Amino acid sequence: MTEAIQRPRRKDPQKRTVLPTLPPTSRSRKALGFTAAAAAGRFVLQKCDDCGAVTYPPREACPKCLSMALNWRDMPDGGRLIAETTIQTSTNVYFRERTPWRTGTIELDAGITVLAHIHGDVAQSGRVRMIARTDKSGQGVLMALPEQETANMADDKQLRELTCDPKHRRVLVTDGRTALGQAMANAVSAAGASTVFVGIAETWRPYAGADELAAIPNVEVMALDVTDSISVKELASEIGGKVDILINTAEHIRAGGAMDRDGIVTARDEMEVNYFGPLRLIQAFGPGMRFRGADGVNSACAWVNLLSVYALSNWPAYGSTSASQAAAYSLSQCLRGEFRGSGVKVLNALFGPLEEDWRQHLPPPKVTPEGLAKAVVGALQQGLEELAVGAVAEDFLVRWKEDPRVLERELTQPEGA
C-alpha cells in the first residue's frame, strides 16, 4: 500500500518557491505518436503491418523486416516486472530532486520488454498493468502499476508526477451559475480538493442552485466574470497564487449560423465568453500557474478547457458558436505550447450536446452536466490531456481522425450533424 499524502502545510513564506525542472524533453517526430496517444490515456506501441512485430522504443523502420509500415496500435496493458533498479542519484536535475526513483524492465503481454517507471506498490516479479501518460515535459512515458488497485494507490509519489489529482489541490471553477459549473464544483470537492473557488458573474442577478452551491464542502464563491478583464484580473490578484487547477466552465452557446442571423451581437457575445474569456483567464492566471508547476504536493498542474466537439469541425446549426469554439480550441493549443516546461497540463475535454437549456431541443444522446464533471475529474486523476465525453463526441472523434474532410462534408449536408 501507499502512504496517504497528507494535506500540505501552509507554505513557509521565507522559502523560495521551487521552480519547475523537467525530465528529458526531446523526442523524435515518430515518437510523438506515442506521446499523442499517451495524452489521451491510450497505451500504444508500434506494430509492423508487414511482419506483425511489435517494437519499442519508437523506430522509423521495423527492426525485424525493415518495413516502413510501422503503425501505432493499441496494445494489451498486462505485463510482469522482471528486473528493477531504484535510482539514487542522477545528472538530470528533475530526477536528482526526486530520488529515490523506481524503474524496471517489464515483460509485456504484447511480446516485448520495455523500460518503465514503477509504482511503489508493484511487487517484485509481480504482474503489472501498464499506463502511458505524459510526464512533466509533456512527453509520453510508460509506468507500471500494480495489477490490482492498492490502498492510496494514486498517492504514489511517482504516479502523482504524471497525474493532476484534485486531492489536496485548490481548484478554480470559473462559472458556477450553470448546472455544469455546479456539477463541476461538486465533483472536484468530492475528489478531495482542499478549496474549490467558484466564480459567479453578475451577483446582482439571481441564479438557480446558489444555496446548494454555497453548501458544497470547501466551496468559496468568488466574483468572476470572464467577459470583464478587470474582474478576471482582480480575482487573479486575490487567489492567482493558489490556483492549482483551473476549470473553465463558462460557455455561451446559441443556435444559428452566419447567414440566418442578423448582425454580430450574438456572435460577439459568443466570442467574449468562449474565446476572449479563456484568453483573459490565461493572461491573469497562466503566469502564476506556470511558475508554480513544481510547488509541492499542491503544485499547479492542470488547465481544463471544456470544448464543444464542434470546435473541430463546424456544425452549421450552431455555426457561429462552433466558430468561437474553434477559436478556443486553437487557443488551447497555444496555451499548451506556452505551458510547456512548466509541468502544467492542458486538458481539453471535448463533449457532445449537453443536457442544458440552450440545447434543449436537440435529440439524445446528450451529456449530463454531472457526467461531464465526472469525466473531467476522472481525466485529471488519470493525468490525461485529451478527453471525449459522450457518445456523440466519441463517434465524432472517430470520424474526424478517419478523415476530417469527409466529416466536414457530412456536417454540411442538409441533414448533417
Partner 1 sequence: MSTNGTTALSALAEALSKGSVRTVDLTHTLDPDFPVIILPPEFGQCARFRVEEVSRYDDRGPAWYWRNFSCSEHTGTHFDAPVHWVSGKDLPNASVDSIPVEGFVRPVCVVDCSKQSAEDEDFLMTKDFLLAWEEEHGRIPEGCWVLMRTDWSKRNPAAYLNMREDGAHSPGPDGGAITFLIEERNVVGFGTECVGTDAGQGAHLSPPYPAHFLLHGAGRYGLQCLANLDLLPPTGAMLICPPLKIKHGSGSPLRVLALVEETSS
Amino acid at site 276: F
CB atoms closer than 10 angstroms to residue 14: 5
- The stretch near partner 1 (CB under 8 A) out of 46-54, 66-74, 119-127, 227-235 is 227-235
- At closest approach, how far in Å is the CB of 325 from partner 1? 19
Coarse DSSP helix, strand, coil percentages of the chain, rounded to the nearest 5 percent: 35, 20, 45
- At closest approach, how far in Å is the CB of 341 from partner 1? 24
**Residue closer to partner 1 (CB basis): 230 or 259:** 230
| Among the listed residues 10, 2, 24, the one whose alpha carbon sits nearest the alpha carbon of residue 296 | 10
125, 136 in Cβ contact below 8 A?
no
Amino acid at site 314: N
Instruction: Supply 83's cell numbers.
Output: 528486473
- At closest approach, how far in Å is the CB of 375 from partner 1? 27
Q: How far is the C-alpha of 253 from the C-alpha of 273, rounded, in Å? A: 9
Binding flag, residue 361, partner 1 (CB under 8 A)? no
Q: Which of 223, 317, 362, 417 binds partner 1 (CB under 8 A)?
A: 223
254, 308 in Cβ contact below 8 A?
no
**Residue closer to partner 1 (CB basis): 93 or 264:** 264
User: How far, rounded to the nearest angstrom, does the alpha carbon of residue 113 sit from its chain's CA centroid?
Assistant: 29
- The stretch near partner 1 (CB under 8 A) out of 35-43, 151-159, 172-180, 224-232 is 224-232
Instruction: Quickly list H helices, 83-228.
Output: 93-96, 157-160, 179-190, 210-215
- At closest approach, how far in Å is the CB of 376 from partner 1? 26
**Residue closer to partner 1 (CB basis): 269 or 394:** 269
β-bridge partners, 297? none
Q: Which of 26, 88, 204, 360 binds partner 1 (CB under 8 A)?
A: 204
67, 49 in Cβ contact below 8 A?
yes
Binding flag, residue 92, partner 1 (CB under 8 A)? no
- The stretch near partner 1 (CB under 8 A) out of 94-102, 105-113, 222-230, 294-302 is 222-230
Number of residues that bind partner 1 (CB under 8 A): 15
Binding flag, residue 112, partner 1 (CB under 8 A)? no
Binding flag, residue 265, partner 1 (CB under 8 A)? yes
| Among the listed residues 21, 196, 181, the one whose alpha carbon sits nearest the alpha carbon of residue 98 | 21
Q: Which of 231, 299, 314, 321 binds partner 1 (CB under 8 A)?
A: 231
Q: Which of 205, 215, 360, 402 binds partner 1 (CB under 8 A)?
A: 205
Binding flag, residue 158, partner 1 (CB under 8 A)? no
Which residues have C-beta within 8 Å of that of residue 359, sequence separation ≥ 6? 253, 353, 366
Q: How far is the C-alpha of 171 from the C-alpha of 153, rounded, in Å? A: 22
Q: Which of 3, 60, 74, 202 binds partner 1 (CB under 8 A)?
A: 202
- At closest approach, how far in Å is the CB of 370 from partner 1? 23
- The stretch near partner 1 (CB under 8 A) out of 10-18, 55-63, 65-73, 265-273 is 265-273
Strands 101-108 and 78-87: antiparallel
Binding flag, residue 211, partner 1 (CB under 8 A)? no
Strands 345-351 and 302-308: parallel
Q: Bin 52: left if φ > 0, else alpha if -120 < ψ < 50, else beta.
A: left
Q: How far is the C-alpha of 300 from the C-alpha of 346, rounded, in Å? A: 11
Which residues have C-beta within 8 Å of that of residue 202, sequence separation ≥ 6? 225
**Residue closer to partner 1 (CB basis): 68 or 258:** 258
- The stretch near partner 1 (CB under 8 A) out of 20-28, 120-128, 226-234, 391-399 is 226-234
Binding flag, residue 381, partner 1 (CB under 8 A)? no
Binding flag, residue 317, partner 1 (CB under 8 A)? no
**Residue closer to partner 1 (CB basis): 147 or 234:** 234
- The stretch near partner 1 (CB under 8 A) out of 12-20, 46-54, 200-208, 365-373 is 200-208
Q: Could you list the residues that contact partner 1 (CB under 8 A)?
A: 202-206, 223, 225, 227-231, 265-266, 269
